[in-house]
Homo-oligomer: A and B are copies of this chain.
């Protein structure tokens, strides 16, 4: 740590809201001291300038970069059905980054942290060739059996998703100048790409209502449902006509010359949850999600025994099985 970094750490620490009652010692010692729950649930994530975000007019602000870096990490805890307790932030400060600019990044982090009562309990600042954030989030569960893994699905399960898909992909295409949308739709898809809302309350509701396998859709439904299928040793069959399309997706897809479901299943960055439940739990899940907020649920497919083939995800359209290709999803 050099003198400049130290004064920057002190400035950032002053900007943070007070930590919650779990945090015995936050920033300002060699390590943070936190009262633990029985089981820790921990995820690490990083966001790097010009890889995960672009600081340009019409793309992302420094506050967006901070907000989204934390959102991406929190979304992993949502996918376990676990509330977040603390976050630890390493800020990679690019050459010439002023204290005011660093505070913009942290303000974005704190805005989202405040929405979910997450305490920023530790951090560090290092020099870096580009602006980057490395985020560690820790949640606390009551037992080791409580977090929802990717591996718990069973043959016959229904496959559900929260919210709507493809909006972030449409927003990224808009940032890249590949599509144009009318003002209100543009604002909606840009917000989806810049400030995704991690589905924390929905993840907890899904766990309590009996979801037995879950993943967040950060890399696109095609990639992430395949992880779930492999971890559970099953094949998931998903009906593309059932995907919940976000507003603006049909218009953006038409301009890109692709079917809307390619944006919805191939782009990622939507940070919705994909999960498997026993058919008997369907109504309970729908009621729990309705009580947890406005995201809602759409049933998009089912889990089949893997049979003779490798576990995989199959996408079916009216014309038959479809080969999915990933999109580039940078912003």
- List CB contacts (< 8 Å) of A119-175 with chain B: 121-124, 126-130, 132, 134, 136-141, 144, 147, 149-151
Q: Does A331 contact B (CB under 8 A)?
A: no
Contact B33 A141 (CB under 8 A): yes
Number of copies: 2
Q: How many residues on the A side are at the interface (Cβ–Cβ under 8 A)?
A: 69
Q: Does A32 contact B (CB under 8 A)?
A: yes
Query: For residue A128, which residue of chain B has the nearest CB?
Result: B48
A242 to chain B, nearest CB (A): 24
Contacts of A126 in B (CB 8 A): 46-48, 51-52
A115 to chain B, nearest CB (A): 19
Q: Does A39 contact B (CB under 8 A)?
A: yes
A317 to chain B, nearest CB (A): 23
**A–B Cβ pairs within 8 angstroms, 24 of them:** A1-B223, A28-B231, A29-B231, A30-B77, A31-B43, A31-B79, A33-B80, A33-B149, A34-B39, A36-B36, A36-B37, A42-B86, A42-B136, A44-B88, A44-B90, A44-B122, A44-B124, A44-B134, A48-B92, A50-B129, A51-B126, A92-B132, A128-B132, A129-B129
